[in-house]
Amino acid sequence: MNRSDAEPSWLLWVRELQAIAQTGLAFSQDPYDLERYVRLRSLAAEMFAAGAGAEFGRVQQMFELESGYATPKVDVRGAVFRGDRILLVQEATDGGWTLPGGWADVNQSARECVEREIREESGFEARALKLAAVHDYRRQGHARPLPYSIYKLFFLCELTGGEARTSLETSAVDFFELGALPALSQGRTNRGQIELMFAHRRDPQLPTEFH
């Protein structure tokens, strides 16, 4: 699912306008330009609120919290196997299942982040073995519109211990065969990505995939 048109055009425009405004506010010293960038950021918030059916005030506040040069956010996901079954967690927010993971944290390496996310969301301990894929969120057909540009990092991991345990973010934890996957949280993980993790499990020599 590598379509560049998987998301509506207005969402792509919002992200770019917000990035231009954020970067301009970080580096411009001209007071008139700063006013224009503030207005541009507000317009981007209005566009996103209208397109996504969100509250304008919350979107504007979210944009105002972003500062400095605009760069993509990083999401990490871990593929942990037990035999021929893959570890998934059920999201408390939407009831869909996903590879354990989430936003990367400051002062932690990507490996540390994915291992922590697996532990926190599932109760299992795992060790990251390989970066299997780096995906651009918007090119993967995810269903949830987000105002940010996102890179998703998928790690093939080795199960080392622990036991199933839910968290504030997850309501169930289980292992699934590829042919019996539950309903997925499509904004976080899709079937194609899980199939790719099974492929890397079968053949560890596969190169890292970039999309």
73-210, what's its fold?
Answer: Nucleoside Triphosphate Pyrophosphohydrolase (3.90.79)
| Whether residue 4 has pLDDT greater than 50 | no
Q: Which of 50-54, 126-130, 170-174 has the lowest mean pLDDT?
A: 50-54
Q: Using alpha carbons, select from 136, 156, 137 the residue that is nearest to residue 196.
A: 156
Tokens matching residue 174:
């289980």
pLDDT digits (tens, 9 = 90+) for 108-139: 999 999 999 999 999 999 999 999 999 988 77
Average pLDDT over the chain, rounded to whole? 93
pLDDT digits (tens, 9 = 90+) for 64-95: 999 999 999 999 999 999 999 999 999 999 99
pLDDT (mean) for 35-42: 97
Split at pLDDT 50, 70, 90, the class of 142 is: low
**Residue 155's pLDDT is what?**
98
pTM of the model: 0.82
- What percent of the chain clears pLDDT 90, i.e. is strictly above it? 86
Split at pLDDT 50, 70, 90, the class of 211 is: confident
**Residue 5's pLDDT is what?**
47
**Residue 141's pLDDT is what?**
67
Tokens matching residue 11:
């969402």
Q: What is the torsional sign of CA 113, 65, 144, 18?
A: negative
The residues spanned by each domain of the chain are 9-64, 73-210
- Report the distance separating Cα 65 and Cα 22, nearest Å: 10
Please report the beta strands in the chain, taking only residues with DSSP state E, as ranges in sequence order: 73-82, 85-91, 97-98, 101-103, 124-136, 150-162, 170-176, 209-210
Concatenate the DSSP letters of all residues of 66-125 into one string. Answer: --SS---EEEEEEEEEETTEEEEEEETTTS-EE-SEEEPPTTS-HHHHHHHHHHHHHSEE
